[in-house]
Amino acid sequence: MAQLVDAQITLGLPAALAPTADSTSGPSTEYRSSKAETQESTLNQTFKYWKLRFSLFSRFDEGIMLDEASMYSVCPEVLAQHIAKRCTSFGTVLDPFCGAGGNVIQLALICDHVIAIDLDPKKIALAKKNAEVYGVAHRIDFRVGNSFSVATNLRVDAVVTSPPWGGPGYERRAKFDARDLCGRDTGGMAAIIRMARAVAPRVVLHVPKNIDKDQCLQIAMDEGFSQIQYESVSIDKKPNCLNLYLTRNDTHTRGIPVQSTKLLQLDNPSLNRQQKMERLRTENKFMYKTYLNKVARFFEKNHL
Ligand SMILES: C[S@@+](CC[C@H](N)C(=O)[O-])C[C@H]1O[C@@H](n2cnc3c(N)ncnc32)[C@H](O)[C@@H]1O
């Protein structure tokens, strides 16, 4: 019989949303101008995440590199720290959808060893760079590849991940269908936890706030998890996401310690003076564009 625990968590920070694939189509004059317009309009759309950058990484101004998609895909630091703390006792942890490193960096600060996989070599380059800023790159084994094939030979203590939600538009749906996590063609949430289950006895999933919770619980039970716990997470008192903590039923493994507190308020450390000054100085679209150009040069330099 599955064990269900509902914990309501309130953190002090804004949301991370979800990724979209980068477009890398070839150039034509017409395409270039429409691409320029698109870049301008996506820049306008993602500018709000630039303003929140210190909540994504408190050490942002020490050299953190994020492309536009990562601006809204990264797990905010306070949430990544919270999830990592649940994993304190685990030796080796895998993030099969590591993105720019929000989760893996916090896991590496706590666990002995972390394996980080992403399909996109650019995301792996960003994650490595960001892990260097936090001094944990040497504790993370970075791999480029499709996790559904690359991860299956691994054996770790836990899989901890934030799979793709399909872009910021996920919020407009009344209910997010769990089959759409990482795209329906991949097999959705069932395929993700089946892959994770083969690799580890415990799985932590960070999923959209509007996901169909009953569907998630049913999928987890169908995939052979007996301890199924979840946290409805609020950030700045606004509903933000759902964290699922799953433990396999075919092992005597100790589950993931989740407090069944109804309301847990975590305080986000406020910005220090230097960060406040830096934010004031750079809180405009010109500085954001300049930053994105720096990231583009970083990719070029690394032949990405
Ligand atoms: C939501 S982002 C992860 C964000 C990350 N947790 C962070 O805090 O920075 C999801 C990532 O999954 C990657 N991805 C999508 N499909 C994948 C697959 N089949 N195998 C490996 N990575 C994949 C995307 O490239 C994207 O970077």
In tens, the pLDDT along 3-49 reads: 445 555 555 443 443 333 333 333 344 444 455 655 777 888 889 89
Q: Which residues pair with 232 in a beta bridge?
A: 8, 242
Residue nearest to atom 18 of ligand 1 (CA): 146
Q: What is the pLDDT of residues 149-186, one digit of tens each?
A: 999 899 999 999 999 998 888 888 899 999 999 999 99
Residue nearest to atom 13 of ligand 1 (CA): 97
Q: What is the pLDDT of residues 224-273, one digit of tens each?
A: 898 888 888 888 878 888 999 999 877 666 666 665 544 455 556 677 88
- Quick check: helix, strand or coil at residue 259? coil
> Kindly report the CA angle at 10 between 84 and 223, in degrees rounded to 5?
55
From residue 302, alpha-carbon distances to 130, 253, 297 in Å are 15, 42, 8
* Surface-to-core class of residue 273, CB atoms within 10 Å of its CB (0-12 exposed, 13-18 middle, 19+ buried): exposed
How far does the centroid of ligand 1 lie from the alpha carbon of residue 191, in Å?
Answer: 15
Residue 292 contacts by C-beta under 8 Å, 6 or more apart in sequence?
43, 67, 68
Compute, in degrees rounded to 10, the torsion defined by CA atoms 235, 238, 241, 244.
80
Q: What is the pLDDT of residues 66-98, one digit of tens each?
A: 999 999 999 999 999 999 999 988 999 999 999
The 202-208 sheet, strands edge to edge: 140-144, 113-118, 92-95, 158-161, 202-208, 238-248, 225-235, 3-11, 264-265
How far does the centroid of ligand 1 lie from the alpha carbon of residue 37, in Å?
Answer: 26
> Kindly report the CA angle at 302 between 301 and 304, in degrees rounded to 5?
110
- Quick check: helix, strand or coil at residue 16? coil
Give the ligand 1 atom nearest the CA of 120: 25
pTM score, two decimals? 0.87
